[in-house]
A = this chain, B = another copy of it.
Amino acid sequence: MFSKSCEYAIKAMICISQKSRNGKRVGVIEVAESIDAPKHFIAKILQELSRKNLVKSIKGLNGGFYLEKAEQKTSIADIVKAIDGDKIYNQCVLGLKDCSQKNPCPVHNEYKEIKKHLIAMLEKNTIGNFNEPLDNGKFFLKKI
């Protein structure tokens, strides 16, 4: 569904969100270990997210990545759009180039409904929503 980079981005955001609530910053290495991902690769992804203002960063001692209050409201959809673009918004499931409301493929309308729910889900769920269940061990960012 999403690229590996995008999955990493989502996990990294969740990780940083949870660990930076107390005002602390989180380093690349800590993020990488927390989500079981290669650190240099995560570094690149975080730079991308930083350029797109989805995450804040500070260099130097005690530096690292963190989320501001407003950024806790970032939705999964925002992250997906930042990394994978808006394919899921526009593309035909079957990959037909000429599929639209005017020339709908046989599954167009049915998929339109499904897509609506999918997008609603991605837009409704914000990074901040993940803090508590993560705190409470309801789910895990990596195999334990």
Contacts and interface: CB of A to CB of B under 8 A. Distances in A.
Contacts of A111: 118, 121
Nearest to A119: B114
Nearest to A130: B106
Contacts of A121: 107, 110-111, 114
Contacts of A130: 106
Decide if the interface of chain A is mainly helix, strand, loop or mixed. Answer: loop
A139 to B, nearest CB: 5
A75 B130 CA distance: 37
19 contacts: A1-B88, A1-B91, A2-B95, A4-B95, A8-B95, A10-B94, A10-B95, A11-B95, A98-B144, A103-B138, A104-B139, A105-B139, A106-B125, A106-B139, A108-B139, A110-B121, A114-B117, A114-B121, A117-B117
Interface of A: 1-2, 4, 7-8, 10-11, 36, 76, 88, 91, 93-99, 103-108, 110-111, 113-114, 117-118, 121, 125, 129-130, 133, 138-144
> What are the 3 A-B residue pairs with the smallest beta carbon separation, nearest first?
A7-B95, A105-B139, A98-B140
